Amino acid sequence: MIHQRRIRPEARGIGMTSQGTRDRLVQRLRDKGIEDERVLQALAATPRHQFVDEALSSRAYEDTALPIGQSQTISQPYIVALMTQALLDGGQPQKILEIGTGSGYQAAVLAQLVPKVFTVERIDELLRTARRRFHAVGLHNIFTRYADGHLGWPTQAPFDGIIVTAAAKQVPQALLDQLDEGAALVAPIEQSGGQQRLKKFTRTEEDFDEQDLGAVVFVPMLGGLI
**53 falls within a domain:** no
Active site residue: 58, 75, 103, 192, which one? 75
| Over residues 49-62, mean pLDDT | 92
**111 falls within a domain:** yes
Q: What percent of the chain has pLDDT over 90?
A: 81
Please name every residue paired with 187 in a beta bridge, in sequence order, or none if there are none: 199
| Over residues 158-186, mean pLDDT | 95
CA–CA separation, 202 vs 100, rounded Å? 20
**77 falls within a domain:** yes
Q: How many residues does the chain have?
A: 226
Residue 75 is a catalytic residue: yes
CA–CA separation, 34 vs 27, rounded Å? 9
Contact 181, 204 (CB under 8 A): yes
**39 falls within a domain:** no
Calculate the average pLDDT of the chain.
91
| pLDDT tens string 66-121 | 999 888 899 999 999 999 999 999 788 999 999 999 999 999 999 999 999 999 99
CA 112 from centroid of its chain's CA atoms: 12
Q: Is the pLDDT of residue 12 over 60?
A: no
Full-model pTM: 0.91
For the chain, what is the total number of helices (H) and then of strands (E)?
6, 9
Q: Is the pLDDT of residue 4 over 60?
A: no
CATH of the domain at 136: 3.40.50.150
Domain total of the chain: 1
Q: Is the pLDDT of residue 199 over 50?
A: yes
Number of Cβ atoms within 10 Å of the Cβ of 153: 21
For residue 81, the SS3 value is helix
**226 falls within a domain:** no
CA–CA separation, 178 vs 159, rounded Å? 6
**150 falls within a domain:** yes
The type of residue at 174 is A
Residue 208's domain spans which residues?
Answer: 66-216
Cα–Cα distances in angstroms (integers) from residue 220 to residues 12, 18, 169, 188, in the given order:
32, 33, 9, 9
The DSSP secondary structure of 167-209, one letter per residue, reads BBSS--HHHHHTEEEEEEEEEEEE-TTS-EEEEEEEE-SSSEE
**33 falls within a domain:** no
Number of Cβ atoms within 10 Å of the Cβ of 136: 15
Q: What angle do helix axes 37-45 and 77-88 make, rounded to 10 degrees?
A: 140
Q: Taking CA 119 as the corner, what is the angle to CA 114 and CA 122, rounded to the nearest 5 degrees?
A: 170
**197 falls within a domain:** yes
